[in-house]
Amino acid sequence: MTSRPVTRRRALTGLGAAAGAALISVTLPPLARAKGNIRDVRLQAGPTTARLIGPEGPETAVWAYNGRTPGPVIRAMQGERLRVHFKNTLEQPTTIHWHGIRLANAMDGVPYLTQPPIEPGQTFTYEFDAFDAGTYWYHPHFNSSEQVAMGLAGALIIDEPAPPPVDRDVLWVIDDWRLTKDAAIASFDRPFHDMVHGGRFGNTVTVNGQIANDVPVTPGERIRLRIVNVANARIFRLIFTGHRPWLAAIDGHPVPPRQFDEGQLIIAPGSRADLIIDMTGKPGERFTVIDNSPEGIRYRLADLAYGPAPATQPPARRAPEAWADNPLPEPDLDKATRLELVMEGGAMGGLESALYKGEKLTGRELARQHGMAWSFNGVVHPPMQYGEHSHPMFTFKKGESVILAIRNDTAFQHPIHLHGHTFRVLTRNGKPVPDQPWQDTVLLTVDGEAEIAFVADNPGDWMLHCHIMEHQKSGMMGHFRVA
Ligand code: C2O
Ligand code: CU
């Protein structure tokens, strides 16, 4: 089985994209004053159409929040409480997961595990406090492989009381889509190849729901660029030609700003990065932001297009400084419980055998009979259903410090995501990670390892899974319990 042929070359590389199309940089509105400390938001998921490949291109039937893909930016101040009144107008059940947010288990949006699926026509109110500032996102956790690929994803921004000084705060929700030559979303009915390889790759990359476009910038300005990767499978490798951005936050949490190595920023599905970029170009210059994709195609993501010089001389710039940390519980590494998580499966290596619902099956049987391809610690976890929760992979006492050593024994990369908790990344591939950043998603390289540490302080059952949606669906997920 091969993946669908790539048909729309222009959309693919975006190189010939029409000039003068709609702007893709969304400048976020200034903060509205909160009336109390609860912010009410209305959100509705349903079918609509979008023009992904430019204003002249055909329309694409998508699923969207409030009629737009990506969905509306949900925004609150750190310390406020969000109340999201949600209605499902899709023809299938859904839920919303608030990716990266530490919240009460009942609000986590995992069907069967934390709430019943929200049926078509039904409503559900999500309510949670914004403890941590930063860049987060929301997406369905029901039939995610299809629902997210159809367009259901949006950014969630929690503002710091004292944000870093910049001239503009800009958001890029980056995505990729698998489109037919008529710009329809390619079918989901032959998922096997995607499942056992790197997931459902698209052939069209977008920023804020649009293919490559101009992002107008002003010489001398300093921008905070928030990037959210909502793709099912694409690990973006971004190159900002002509610029030297600082990486200033990962998964919402500030890190000492560092100009990134080799000019390439790797952002896996589910992950976020906040950059500080000084616009050092001259009036009239243009610089391309490239996705250096592993298939050897260099996608043009956007062009930074310099306008005229500002009327007043911009101030001299110093290197940006880290902003205030979030109130995260520090794991006690000396007393921490140490556990292993070994990932196996997929094509080129594969699964010899694994446990599935208590029965030992060969890799072949798992694939043929159950459409399963990946295991955690020798167990393939079936998709959750009523009364059929698999057992928690781990159970922790509330407040327990944990070091999880993750090993990837597969021929693919996997971004591993934990719900309800934020962890420090201690080491990757045996080397200490500078500053041990706080993350909720960590990318495991092929045959790679990572050690993460966190305090299991949030009671409930929490997912732990690969954020490549097709891997999650075919066994690379499970849950842990904090009691
Ligand atoms: Cu963003 Cu369980 O996922
Ligand atoms: Cu994976």
- What are 294-336's pLDDT values in tens digits? 777 888 999 999 999 998 888 888 999 999 999 999 999 999 9
E strands in 293-386 = 298-306, 337-345, 353-356, 359-362, 374-376, 379-380
What is the fold, at CATH topology level, of the domain defined by 8-162? Immunoglobulin-like (2.60.40)
User: What pLDDT does 389 receive?
Assistant: 61
Q: In CATH, which superfamily holds the domain spanning 169-306?
A: Cupredoxins -  blue copper proteins (2.60.40.420)
Q: Give yes or no for residue 479 CB within 6 A of ligand 1.
A: no
Average pLDDT rounded to a whole number, residues 108-129: 97
**Residue type present at position 443:** L
With a 6 Å cutoff on the Cβ, whether 424 touches ligand 1 is no
> Which ligand is in closest contact with the Cα of 416?
2
Q: Is the pLDDT of residue 20 over 70?
A: no
Mean residue pLDDT across the chain: 90
Lowest mean pLDDT among 106-120, 282-296, 428-442: 282-296
DSSP 55: T
The answer to whether the bond into 70 is cis (omega within 30° of 0) is yes
Q: Which residue from 190, 92, 102, 113 is spatially nearest to 477, judged by alpha carbons?
A: 113
Pick the atom of ligand 1 nearest to 137's CA: 1
> Is a pLDDT exceeding 90 seen at residue 364?
yes
Name the residue at shortest CA distance from atom 3 of ligand 1. Answer: 99
In this prediction, what percent of the chain has a pLDDT beyond 70?
91
Q: Does position 433 have pLDDT exceeding 70, yes or no? A: yes
Q: How far apart are CA 450 and CA 455, in angstroms?
A: 17
Cα–Cα distance for residue pair 464/460, rounded to 1 Å: 13
Q: Are strands 477-482 and 438-439 parallel, antiparallel or unpaired?
A: unpaired
Topology match between the domains 8-162 and 337-482? yes
What integer is the mean pLDDT of 462-468?
A: 97
Mean pLDDT of the region 352-374: 93
In our burial notation (b when 16+ CB lie closer than 10 A, e otherwise), range 221-249 reads: bbbbbbbbbbbbbbbbbbbbeebebbbbb
User: Are residues 132 and 326 in contact, defined by beta-carbon separation less than 8 angstroms?
Assistant: yes
pLDDT, residue 313, reads: 85
Place of tokens 């009979």: 369
- Closest ligand 1 atom to residue 472 Cα is 2
Which top CATH class is 337-482? mainly beta
Q: Tell me what the mean pLDDT of segment 201-205 comes to.
A: 93
Higher pLDDT, 31 or 240: 240
Residue 190, pLDDT score: 84
Q: Confidence class of residue 6 from pLDDT cuts 50, 70 and 90?
A: very low
Domain ranges of the chain: 8-162, 169-306, 337-482
Predicted pLDDT of residue 481: 96
Whether the predicted pLDDT of 425 surpasses 50: yes
H helices of 320-387, where? 363-370
Residue 282's pLDDT is what? 96
Quick one: pLDDT at residue 223? Answer: 98
pLDDT tens sequence across 261-272: 667 999 999 999
User: Considering every ligand atom, which ligand is closest to the CA of 233?
Assistant: 2
For residue 182, pLDDT over 50 is answered with yes
Residue 390: is its pLDDT beyond 90?
no
Protein residue with its CA nearest to atom 1 in ligand 1: 99
How does residue 5 score in pLDDT terms, banded at 50, 70 and 90? very low
User: Residue 314's pLDDT is what?
Assistant: 82
Segment 378-382 long-range contacts (CB within 8 Å, at least 24 positions apart): 378/342, 378/344, 378/354, 379/354, 379/355, 379/478, 380/345, 380/351, 380/354, 380/355, 380/356, 380/475, 381/475, 381/477, 381/478, 382/356, 382/357, 382/475
Q: What is the mean pLDDT of residues 57-85?
A: 97
Average pLDDT of span 90-108 = 98
* Range 156-175 burial, b when 16+ CB lie within 10 A, else e: bbbbbeeebebbebbbbbbb
Residues 6+ apart with CB under 8 A from 9: none
Q: Judge if the beta carbon of residue 471 lies within 6 A of ligand 1.
A: no
Mean pLDDT of 329-352: 95
> Which pLDDT band holds residue 143 (cuts at 50, 70, 90)?
very high
Ligand 1 pocket, residue 97 CB under 6 Å: yes
When pLDDT is averaged across residues 99-125 and rounded to a whole number, the result is 97
What mean pLDDT comes out for the span 96-124? Answer: 97
Residue 376 has pLDDT above 50, yes or no: yes
- pLDDT at residue 7 above 70? no
Mean pLDDT in residue range 388-402: 89
- pLDDT for 387 equals 58
